[in-house]
């Protein structure tokens, strides 16, 4: 619902910032709040056209309770987007990336998603603000993943036990290949 009084909106925001500082029980003393809550800036902007909220005269036709049949937002496959990204990188930069390279991109995404700073920013800001922080975090995440991948690479060639466990895991590809090509 659109608001029209800037002063009421300012008072509301001030009250929201003040509320956590007020005592929760009647016998608690009032805190000194002179500098604790000070509304110094208020950004207001129109979010769209002013809406007509008047009631419309009804008809005997039943309405639609849930637009779209109540299915909600349909899930978009991240694999499709990742395939598009790889095709785009191959075309633009002459790379020869394959489906096997999708793992690298997923590693970077998972490293960012596990970063606590990225999580806090994503949960409390819009996409544009998240992108600003992401550009700073992405480089560190990529470097950290590269170092970890280097350790895995070294362990494969230097530790026979590591190599054996990896080979057991990779051997499961035999059954997967046969299942995918079964008539």
Whole-angstrom distance between the N-terminal and C-terminal Cα of the chain? Answer: 59
- The residue ranges of every structural domain in the chain are 99-158
pLDDT tens figures, 1-49: 566 777 887 788 778 877 877 778 888 877 666 655 555 666 666 666 6
State if pTM tops 0.75.
no
Give 1's Cβ-side CA count (13 Å radius).
4
C-beta separation of 33 from 1 below 8 A: no
Contacts of 90 (CB under 8 A, 6+ apart): 96, 97
- Dihedral angle over CA of 137, 140, 146, 149, nearest 10: -70
Widest pairwise Cα distance in the chain? 79
């Amino acid at each position: 619902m659109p608001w029209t009084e800037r002063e009421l909106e300012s008072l509301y925001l001030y009250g929201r910032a003040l509320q956590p500082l007020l005592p929760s029980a009647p016998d608690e003393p009032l805190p000194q709040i002179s500098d604790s809550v000070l509304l110094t800036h208020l950004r207001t902007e129109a979010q769209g056209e002013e809406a007509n909220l008047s009631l419309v005269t009804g008809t005997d036709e039943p309405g639609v309770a849930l637009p779209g049949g109540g299915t909600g937002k349909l899930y978009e496959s991240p694999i499709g987007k990742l395939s598009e990204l790889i095709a785009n990188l191959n075309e633009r930069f002459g790379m020869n990336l394959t489906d096997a390279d999708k793992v690298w991109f997923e590693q970077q995404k998972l490293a960012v998603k596990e970063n606590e700073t990225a999580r806090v920013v994503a949960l409390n800001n819009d996409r544009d603000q998240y992108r600003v922080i992401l550009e700073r975090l992405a480089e560190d995440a990529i470097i950290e993943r590269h170092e970890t991948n280097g350790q895995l690479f070294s362990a494969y060639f230097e530790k026979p036990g590591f190599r054996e466990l990896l080979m057991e895991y990779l051997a499961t590809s035999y059954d997967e290949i046969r299942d995918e090509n079964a008539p």
